[in-house]
Amino acid sequence: MLTRREALLAGIGAATAAGGARANAQTSVLRVVAAITDSNAQAYYAEGGGFFKAAHLNVEITPFTASGAIVAAIAGGAMDIGTGSPLVVVGAREQGVPISIIAPGAVFIESAPTTLLMVAPNSTLRTAADLEGKTIATPSLHGLTEISIAAWAARNHADPAKMKYIEMPFAVMPAALERGQIDAAMIAEPALTVARSATREFADPYAAIAKEWYISAWFARDDWLAKNREATRAFVQAITKTQDWANSHHAETAQILLSVTKLSEDTVNKMTRSRFATRFDPQLVQPLIDWGAKAGITKGTVSAKEAIARV
């Protein structure tokens, strides 16, 4: 029987076959690590859509789930390029780990949120102040959830310091809300689509950070970038073309997403799909950094300009 990781890698192989054979074996392998979620799936889309092949890149994609593990893999040299929140890059640099952003990834757009704060259908919570003293579930502590809720609370005359957080997988959040174990939960797609029938939308905290900002970004270790400039440029060009294509080819990317996940076709077709950046604007990184510092998640000593590498 295949392990979960082997099954995922087999799915990646299926997506590769859909997009064509890999680039010739003489091309050195580019080791890329990414979570298998729509907002971080551009590498799978690039492979399945043939963009890596067109750029003569031989890419090996390894699926990770936790952003901390992705950063550790990049920092330790086990992987070459990874994707995750720009915040993890900033945090790493604040700790003296030389990692830099090389390209933007998914972008938050206020009109099409993919992560929302949800409550039970019968919840009496109505305002930001109502959450004071209450417990909020988040997929990871000291990250985007706490930053965005701090920004949202500040804009709605509530004290985020009085809100409590608990780490919990998306899949169990609706049941925890129903039992009263938690009062609210920050749920992202595709779990958000599945959860809608058993929860009520309460707020869109991400919109409090800015109307538009980068949810994810591509990054690599500085010394690796210095030694692999040509490969880096080819990767950035390929991933940028992929992201532009993915924005208008949801049917094609849905099939690739289905091949590398356990999602149902119904969920993929109903979920709000991620939008990807097609240009690099440091001003779409800075709001997250600023609010991260205000929330006490980061120190505020690294600016967007300092976190971005010249490719």
Question: Could you give the CA distance from residue 253 to residue 249 in angstroms, rounded to a whole number?
Answer: 6
Yes or no: say if 209 and 203 are a contact pair by the CB < 8 Å rule: no
Confidence of residue 271 (pLDDT cuts 50, 70, 90): very high
**Average pLDDT, whole number, for the chain?**
90
The pLDDT tens digits for 166-198 are 999 999 999 999 999 999 999 999 999 999 999
What pLDDT band is residue 140 in, cutting at 50, 70 and 90? confident
Length of the chain: 311
Taking a C-beta distance cutoff of 8 angstroms, is the pair 242, 42 a contact? yes
Paired with 184 in beta bridges are: 136
Tell me the per-residue pLDDT of 272-283, one tens digit each, with 9 for 90 and over: 999 999 999 999
- Using CA atoms, how far residue 234 sits from 78, 134, 311, in Å, is 20, 48, 10
What 3-state DSSP class applies to 106? strand
Confidence of residue 11 (pLDDT cuts 50, 70, 90): very low
Hunting for tokens 């925890």 — which residue is that? Answer: 176
Residue 23 confidence (pLDDT) above 70: no
pLDDT at 310: 86
Domains recognised in the chain with CATH numbers = 4-108+213-307 (3.40.190.10), 115-210 (3.40.190.10)
The pLDDT assigned to 20 comes to: 36
pLDDT 10s digits, 47-82: 999 999 999 999 999 998 777 889 999 999 999 999
CA distance 245 to 129: 42
Residue 230 backbone phi and psi in degrees, to 5: -65, -45
Three-state DSSP state, 273: coil
